[in-house]
Structure 1
Amino acid sequence: MTLQPISPARHEDGRTLYLAGFAERFGMNDLSGLPLLWQRFAPHIGHVPGRHGHDSYGVCYNPDEQGGFDYLAGVEVNAGQVLPDGFSTLTLTPQHYAVFEHRGSLQCLKATFDGIFQWLPRSGERQADAALFERYPAGFDPADPDAVMEIWIPLQRK
């Protein structure tokens, strides 16, 4: 099956985000641990000290040449928040982003990412050396065929 590139829903200048949650290292050849990370984190979502807002975030950062990357499943918190043992923190600095919508079950998320990364080289844009993230609204159900979430791809400023 040949996927078609998808266009961004919009471009947006992000703001500083202070995130806290659970983080692990993954490789592109085996992403099976991502749902398990979210399953471990999910019971904490409404109980993270200093939580700010209602969205949850999945952040890919620190990529390497072998396809490895760190991934944080987390929520936004107040800067400098003291957190329970086992939590990781990550600060995202302001970037310019292309924002894409993913509609439907997370089982099809890879197809959306594939479409984004087909769009990117054809768009004239260049990805910035910064974290990309998924933004999940409150109440997001990963199995709901009508669910909507966003993927934020950092772009180099022109």
Structure 2
Amino acid sequence: MVAIRRQPAIKLAGLRSRLKGLPYHVIPTLLERFSPYRGWFPGQVDRHLFGALMQPAGNSAGFEYLTAVEVENLAIINADWEPLEIPSQHYAIFSHTGHLSNLRTTTHSVFANSLPSRQLTPLRHTPNVPLILERYSASFDIRSGWGEIQLWVPLDEARSDLPSIRKFEPASGR
């Protein structure tokens, strides 16, 4: 685990896809489809990419996946793009080392081992909060699948070990 951090609200804009199963086999395709827009969004904060795995609205099966960038203001985003404003909250942040094709293994380890061993509970069933937020560094190479990837897991503060959160939380910043 890299850190536990309280993150201010994040405003994302991008392309939303509906998936029947977990997205790991289609993430490269979704990133590739979005890549021409990286760096060209009005009000884009930086060149990081985000992948937000969401529960679908209602009782629908499967997942929704938003491939996006962080923007300063959602009001200037036109109807071609899906907005998502994620409220301020605590995240457990994990680093994925290796190729994008191995992201599934890291994600499984986070949920099966890392979170339970630290008495941390992921936040679930909360509107506008992803199940997991992938953050791809500005230097991440979409074509090769290599580069820095962080997995941000929203934490259920009421059910997590708060002393553990306080111990890891940095003083400030992103």
TM-score (norm 2): 0.76
Query: What residue number does 2:155 align with?
Result: 155
Runs of at least 5 residues in structure 2 that lack an aligned partner in the other structure: 163-174
Seq. identity, %: 29
**3-state SS in 1 of match to 2:47:** strand
Shift of 1:70: 1.1
Shift of 1:63: 5.0
Matched pairs, number: 150
On the 8 A contact 1:9/1:101 being kept in 2, the answer is yes
On the 8 A contact 2:6/2:89 being kept in 1, the answer is yes
AA aligned to 1:126 is: T
Shift of 1:80: 2.9
* In structure 1, distance between residues paired with 2:145 and 2:23: 24
Shift of 1:61: 1.4
Which of residues 21, 35, 47 in structure 1 aligns to 2:40?
47
Query: What residue number does 2:170 align with?
Result: none
Report which stretch shifted further, 122-131 or 36-45: 122-131
**3-state SS in 2 of match to 1:112:** helix
Report which stretch shifted further, 85-94 or 17-26: 85-94
**3-state SS in 1 of match to 2:38:** helix
**3-state SS in 2 of match to 1:128:** coil
* In structure 1, distance between residues paired with 2:11 and 2:22: 29
On the 8 A contact 2:133/2:153 being kept in 1, the answer is yes
**3-state SS in 2 of match to 1:75:** strand
Query: What residue number does 2:25 align with?
Result: 32
Which of residues 87, 106, 123 in structure 2 aligns to 1:128?
123
User: Is 1:88 aligned with 2:93?
Assistant: no
Shift of 1:141: 1.6
* In structure 2, distance between residues paired with 1:92 and 1:9: 21
Shift of 1:32: 3.5
Structure with a larger share of its residues in strand: 1
- Aligned alpha-carbon RMSD (Å): 2.2
On the 8 A contact 1:49/1:81 being kept in 2, the answer is no
Q: Deviations over 1:59-88 (max 9, x none)?
A: 111258786111111101122332344211
